[in-house]
Amino acid sequence: MSVHVLLFDSGSDQEGIHSLELNGRTVVLLFEDRDDAERYAGLLEAQDFPIPTVELLDREEMELFCSQAGYESRFVPSGFLPESAEDRLFIAPPERNMDVANWQDSEDGSDTEPGANSGGKATAEPIESADPKLEAFRRQLEGLL
């Protein structure tokens, strides 16, 4: 079975995979439906992430990759409906993002994926507006997701 994943700088030496940091675990999302993956990629782009590419890969290979890298893979089935706050992150990115300004040049010399904890020093910074009206409107829009 194939799944869709989000890659940054796909096909380059700096290629990275999108992941989430959840309670000390690094989670890679494996989307069953391409449309779901593309929608999620669009939400990331709207949060000023580098533009991700949706790639179709073998599910077993991705699960093996995640296991070997110390990541957790999460399958997001077509029509997925969240039942918890954590589940909601599988259909919409979190409000706080890891700093991706230098994800390609981590301190230990290895490449670091945006949102992943692979030994580099990444810090989470909230995305907020100084304008309370704009912030309230942003939260209303997020609530629609």
Q: How many CB atoms lie within 10 A of CB 2?
A: 14
pLDDT digits (tens, 9 = 90+) for 4-40: 999 988 888 888 899 888 888 899 999 999 999 998 9
Query: Distance (Å, rounded) from C-alpha 31 to C-alpha 28?
Result: 10
3-state class (DSSP) for residue 81: coil
Q: How many helices (H) and strands (E) does the chain have?
A: 4, 8
Q: pTM above the 0.85 mark?
A: no
Distance CA 80, CA 94 (A): 17
54-101 pLDDT, tens digit per residue, is 999 999 999 999 999 999 999 999 988 777 777 777 777 765 555 544
CA angle 95, 42, 84 (to 5 degrees): 45
